Chains A and B, each alone.
Chain A
Amino acid sequence: MELFHGVNVDWLGKKWYFLAFSMIFSVAGIISMSMHWVQIGSPVPLSVDFRGGTQVQLQFAQTPDIGRIRQATVEAGIKDASVVAYDVASNNEVLISLPEQTNESSLDAGRQQIVDALHAHYANQFTVRNVQVVGPTVGKQLERQAGLATLYSMAGMLVYLWFRFQLIYGVAAVVACFHDTLITVGFFALTGQEISLTVIAAILTLVGYSMNDTIVVFDRIRENLRLSRREALPDVVNRSINQTLSRTVLTSGLTFLTVLSLYVFGGQVLRGFSFALVVGILIGTYSSIAVAAPMLVAWQEWRGKSGKGTTLPAAKRARV
């Protein structure tokens, strides 16, 4: 069986549609992030990992009455507790969160208070499934590290591609990557989902994945440029995308299926992680065709116009 045999699509001819599509999603994401910024002081809702605070996840023997639990916490004098049902209703799980404790010595008090209050005021049997208490210091630390990790990762890729191809290839790939990260994070902002540490891990994986996709196309462009030096760059790029299209669609399709399986079966703990991958793999595949490759052509056209010579960005020979 074969899909996409002998495809001949003029991808570069559609670059304005691509640009419009990317702009719509990026701008929507940015607007949503700014709205969050105004409301909560960060571009996306942050999980307890970064925000700091106390989170207690409880599982009850019978269906819990959220109202009663809320009342029990209020009666015990616990301020600003948020009580919500967690995951699927049949699990009888409840998530109780307290805002950040400013005083680190009393960090642990909230957890104990919640558990005590429920024991005293609420008869329904429950077990403590998960407790997370994060102080302000650690939250800030992690926030900084996560940002740095993403930046370093992109810088590492840029250097590698510079070394393997040429600077412009690296720049194009990193721009595509940044585009993917922006849109993925934008999706979190739009859907109001929290960004946790594992989501950051997913985003870093996407940086790697999106690079993969872009490199496969770039490798082919490099190879074709060597084979047919007289052909115009747009034609070479189009042909390269078409030749690798079958692989691109198959791989992202398969990776997408595995990630979807993770999203469906992996449970609540990994929901944010798999959501980032589900969105990111679609965007990452799209961007290697619609963002990275057109950038190479645009760069060359700009060089041509500004009279800096019309040489193709002929990459170095592959050294393996």
Chain B
Amino acid sequence: MKKNLKNKVLLIIAVLVVFTYGIIGVPSGVSGKALMEALSNRIHLGLDLRGGAHLILQVVVSEAVASETDNTVARVQQDLKTAKLTFSQAYKPDPTKPQVIRLEGTTQPNASVVRSLLDTKYSNEYDVNGGGADNTWTLTMKPLVQKALEEKTVQQAIDTIRDRVDSLGVSEPLIQEYNLGANQILVELPGISDLDRVKSIIQSTARLEIHAVVGGPYQDETAALASVGGVVPPDEMLVHGSGALATGSDADSVYVLQRVSVVAGSDFRSADPGTDQNGLRNVRFTLTNEAGDKFYEYTSVNVGKSMAVVMGGRVREVANIKSAIRDSGEIEGSFTPDEVTILSKMLRTGALPASLNYLEDRTVGASLGADSIRQGVTAAIVGVLVVMAFMLFYYRGSGINADLALFLNLVILLGFMGFSKATLTLPGIAGVILTIGMGVDSNVLIFERIREEVRAGKAPSAAVDQGFAHAWVTIVDTHVTTIVSAAILFLFGSGPVKGFAVTLTFGLAANLFTAVYVSRVIFEAHLNKLKPGETVSI
């Protein structure tokens, strides 16, 4: 019995040591400052405590679908031409349904050839319909394919944002899919209060692309429209230009460009800021192998024609193709130093596959965070002291037992936080405080039960035994229900609320150990010292 007890005490001390390590690690000294430093290294504070920015972005996935079907439209036209099959047009009839492609004006004798061509080349990704008497075909992207494409787009956006944020040197950013809504991304940037710069870097969807120029520059949209006969063909688009290299002067101008890009954002392998022989800033880029081949093919048959560099929805530079280019080149333009850096950063990290909408944006200043810490900690200390004082007063000797258990409960809870790298938020501190109040419930349940047993005339050790045995059933039930509600909070909550659910769950789990096991061991140790005839102080 005695040896058994010694082992139990050793186990408790071991737990205490392990979790103390979890809280502060191995501090560099024993001064208050060194301890605080060690503490702040281990316990991760949430944005609401240390200040920072919290963003929720939505990826406009329909853009990615649209650019995929744009490519398909171009491929269909190419394939039909190569097979020498006549058609009047291939286009996308409804801008709100980017997944639908329409092919019109094939001839009836060719219907079966067209069908087999469309079937063999496109039926993996598209549902092919039509080919009846009206010689019209519809290709609709399969829902599964579309869903996969959308998921890939969100994932790409996450990767790109992560790369860009990393290049900013933000410590411990959090970038992940936000599951509350479709195609949403959660971005948390500790320590950032100047959102504008971050946003300009994250958001510069500034999809950099190179498009073939159909016509331009025109003075305004009316002139540009006139050049294409009043209606923009479905495979072309109007784009405004800015900057001297695009317009020849500083005035705004309009270009008609091919809708499908020659080089897309994801085709760039690397990009670096530089200067040309005249000292002007430029960006040097290299393309991926595949894109390089494509670019070579295009430039070699289009020597003498113009290409437009489109960034952020505007033409930034128009260049004449002097000779075939394979996989490297320069983009010149009237760039500011910041623009060159951002542009090359973006090219290096890959372009965003689609543009982003901001759905939510919260910034907590560092001063508010510091105030919150002070207030939360004050509330916690007052709460703990009041509870501990009351337990001593009400249960006397056993109050010490409860207070020790409570103290160990706190150590384990904070140690958990340190080990698991869980985030402590302001509601999380509230969770710690609640844990104290609810944790002491187990002690109260047990002690009240022991008192009842003592009153019923049981000997001290039997009373303690019975007290623990009876209270145990209730304690399990109460803990399970609270943990169930905390778990649901964790699943549904976000940010600070999640932090609350985490501390509450950890706290209650630790409480099962401290209020039942530790408290029991202390009682046993105490009972062993009792002389016959003495009673437990409770």
Which A residues contact B (CB, under 8 angstroms)?
1-2, 57, 59, 104-105, 107-108, 111-112, 127-135, 137-138, 141-142, 145-146, 148-149, 152-153, 156-157, 160-161, 164, 197-198, 200-201, 204-205, 207-209, 211-212, 215-216, 219-220, 223, 243-244, 246-247, 250-251, 254-259, 261-262, 264-267, 269-270, 273-274, 277, 318, 320
Give the distance in Å from the alpha carbon of A2 to the alpha carbon of B452 in the complex: 11
Chain B 190-217 per-residue mask, 1 if CB under 8 angstroms from chain A, else 0: 0001011001000000000000000000
Interface-lining segment among B102-110, B131-139, B158-166, B439-447: B439-447
Among A57, A105, A148, A219, the one with the most B-chain Cβ atoms within 10 Å of its Cβ is A219
Give the distance in Å from the alpha carbon of A309 to the alpha carbon of B140 in the complex: 64
5 tightest A-B contacts by CB? A255-B437, A267-B375, A208-B485, A258-B383, A208-B482
B34 interfacial contact with A, CB 8 Å: no
Give the distance in Å from the alpha carbon of A269 to the alpha carbon of B473 in the complex: 37
Say whether, besides A205-B434, A264-B379, A57 and B368 are in contact (CB < 8 Å): yes
Interface-lining segment among B113-121, B225-233, B496-504: B496-504
Q: How far is the CB of B221 from chain A (nearest CB, A)?
A: 21
Cross-interface CB contact of A2 among B441, B451, B478, cutoff 8 Å:
B451
On whether the beta carbons of B489 and A204 are closer than 8 Å, the reply is: yes
27 A-B interface contacts by CB (under 8 A): A1-B396, A108-B195, A108-B361, A129-B365, A131-B361, A133-B360, A135-B360, A146-B492, A156-B485, A156-B488, A157-B484, A204-B489, A208-B484, A211-B478, A212-B441, A212-B481, A216-B478, A219-B477, A255-B441, A261-B433, A262-B433, A265-B382, A266-B376, A269-B48, A269-B368, A270-B376, A277-B434
Say whether, besides A127-B365, A270-B430, A273-B430, A320 and B484 are in contact (CB < 8 Å): no
On whether the beta carbons of B368 and A129 are closer than 8 Å, the reply is: yes
Give the distance in Å from the alpha carbon of A153 to the alpha carbon of B488 in the complex: 6
Interface-lining segment among B87-95, B290-298, B385-393: B385-393
Given pairs A111-B361, A134-B362, A149-B491, 8 additional interface contacts (CB within 8 A): A135-B358, A197-B494, A251-B440, A258-B383, A262-B433, A270-B376, A273-B430, A320-B472
Say whether, besides A201-B489, A257-B437, A107 and B445 are in contact (CB < 8 Å): no
> Of all chain A residues, which has the CB nearest B492?
A149
Give the distance in Å from the alpha carbon of A234 to the alpha carbon of B396 in the complex: 35
> Of all chain B residues, which has the CB nearest A131?
B363
On whether the beta carbons of B500 and A201 are closer than 8 Å, the reply is: yes
> Of all chain A residues, which has the CB nearest B486?
A208
On whether the beta carbons of A197 and B493 are closer than 8 Å, the reply is: yes
On whether the beta carbons of A212 and B438 are closer than 8 Å, the reply is: yes
Instruction: List, in ascending order, chain A residues with CB within 8 A of B181's CB.
Output: 137-138, 141
Cross-interface CB contact of B497 among A138, A157, A198, cutoff 8 Å:
A198
On whether the beta carbons of B484 and A156 are closer than 8 Å, the reply is: yes
On whether the beta carbons of B359 and A212 are closer than 8 Å, the reply is: no
Q: How far is the CB of A301 from chain B (nearest CB, A)?
A: 26
On whether the beta carbons of B477 and A164 are closer than 8 Å, the reply is: yes
Cross-interface CB contact of A251 among B375, B376, B441, cutoff 8 Å:
B441
Interface of A is mostly: helix
Give the distance in Å from the alpha carbon of A262 to the alpha carbon of B494 in the complex: 22
Interface of B is mostly: helix
Cross-interface CB contact of A259 among B357, B433, B483, B493, cutoff 8 Å:
B433
Give the distance in Å from the alpha carbon of A209 to the alpha carbon of B482 in the complex: 7
On whether the beta carbons of A274 and B430 are closer than 8 Å, the reply is: yes
On whether the beta carbons of B476 and A1 are closer than 8 Å, the reply is: no
B124 interfacial contact with A, CB 8 Å: no
Say whether, besides A149-B488, A197-B497, A258-B383, A108 and B358 are in contact (CB < 8 Å): yes
Instruction: List, in ascending order, chain B residues with CB within 8 A of A256's CB.
Output: 437
Instruction: List, in ascending order, chain A residues with CB within 8 A of B493's CB.
Output: 149, 197, 201
Instruction: List, in ascending order, chain A residues with CB within 8 A of B363's CB.
Output: 128, 130-131
Give the distance in Å from the alpha carbon of A49 to the alpha carbon of B48 in the complex: 15
Instruction: List, in ascending order, chain A residues with CB within 8 A of B484's CB.
Output: 153, 156-157, 160, 208
On whether the beta carbons of B383 and A270 are closer than 8 Å, the reply is: no
B448 interfacial contact with A, CB 8 Å: yes
B470 interfacial contact with A, CB 8 Å: yes
Q: How far is the CB of B138 from chain A (nearest CB, A)?
A: 31
Give the distance in Å from the alpha carbon of A128 to the alpha carbon of B195 in the complex: 12
The range of chain B's interface size is 35 or more
B56 interfacial contact with A, CB 8 Å: yes
Among B180, B193, B363, the one with the most A-chain Cβ atoms within 10 Å of its Cβ is B363
On whether the beta carbons of A141 and B180 are closer than 8 Å, the reply is: yes
Chain B 501-513 per-residue mask, 1 if CB under 8 angstroms from chain A, else 0: 1001000000000
Instruction: List, in ascending order, chain A residues with CB within 8 A of B56's CB.
Output: 138
On whether the beta carbons of B427 and A198 are closer than 8 Å, the reply is: yes
> Of all chain B residues, which has the CB nearest A246?
B448
Instruction: List, in ascending order, chain B residues with CB within 8 A of A127's CB.
Output: 365, 367
> Of all chain A residues, which has the CB nearest B363?
A131
On whether the beta carbons of A205 and B358 are closer than 8 Å, the reply is: no
> Of all chain B residues, which has the CB nearest A147?
B492
Instruction: List, in ascending order, chain A residues with CB within 8 A of B527's CB.
Output: none
Instruction: List, in ascending order, chain B residues with CB within 8 A of A132's CB.
Output: 361-362
Say whether, besides A2-B451, A254-B437, A270-B427, A160 and B480 are in contact (CB < 8 Å): yes
Instruction: List, in ascending order, chain B residues with CB within 8 A of A146's CB.
Output: 492
On whether the beta carbons of B58 and A130 are closer than 8 Å, the reply is: no
B474 interfacial contact with A, CB 8 Å: yes
Instruction: List, in ascending order, chain B residues with CB within 8 A of A149's CB.
Output: 488-489, 491-493
B364 interfacial contact with A, CB 8 Å: yes
Q: How far is the CB of B308 from chain A (nearest CB, A)?
A: 25
Give the distance in Å from the alpha carbon of A59 to the alpha carbon of B370 in the complex: 14
> Of all chain A residues, which has the CB nearest B355?
A105
Q: How far is the CB of A61 from chain B (nearest CB, A)?
A: 12
Instruction: List, in ascending order, chain B residues with CB within 8 A of A164's CB.
Output: 477
Which B residues, 370 to 413, have Cβ-Cβ distances below 8 Å to chain A? Answer: 371-372, 375-376, 378-379, 382-384, 386-387, 390, 393-394, 396
> Of all chain B residues, which has the CB nearest A215?
B477
On whether the beta carbons of A152 and B488 are closer than 8 Å, the reply is: yes
Give the distance in Å from the alpha carbon of A21 to the alpha carbon of B480 in the complex: 30
On whether the beta carbons of A1 and B393 are closer than 8 Å, the reply is: yes
> Of all chain A residues, which has the CB nearest B368?
A129
On whether the beta carbons of B394 and A1 are closer than 8 Å, the reply is: yes
Give the distance in Å from the alpha carbon of A258 to the alpha carbon of B436 in the complex: 8
Cross-interface CB contact of A128 among B193, B433, B478, cutoff 8 Å:
B193
Say whether, besides A261-B433, A270-B376, A104 and B481 are in contact (CB < 8 Å): no
On whether the beta carbons of B478 and A215 are closer than 8 Å, the reply is: yes
Instruction: List, in ascending order, chain B residues with CB within 8 A of A264's CB.
Output: 379, 382
Say whether, besides A141-B180, A211-B481, A265-B378, A205 and B362 are in contact (CB < 8 Å): no
Instruction: List, in ascending order, chain A residues with CB within 8 A of B379's CB.
Output: 261-262, 264-266, 270
B61 interfacial contact with A, CB 8 Å: no
Say whether, besides A153-B484, A215-B478, A257 and B360 are in contact (CB < 8 Å): no
Instruction: List, in ascending order, chain A residues with CB within 8 A of B476's CB.
Output: 320
Cross-interface CB contact of A250 among B436, B448, B472, cutoff 8 Å:
B448
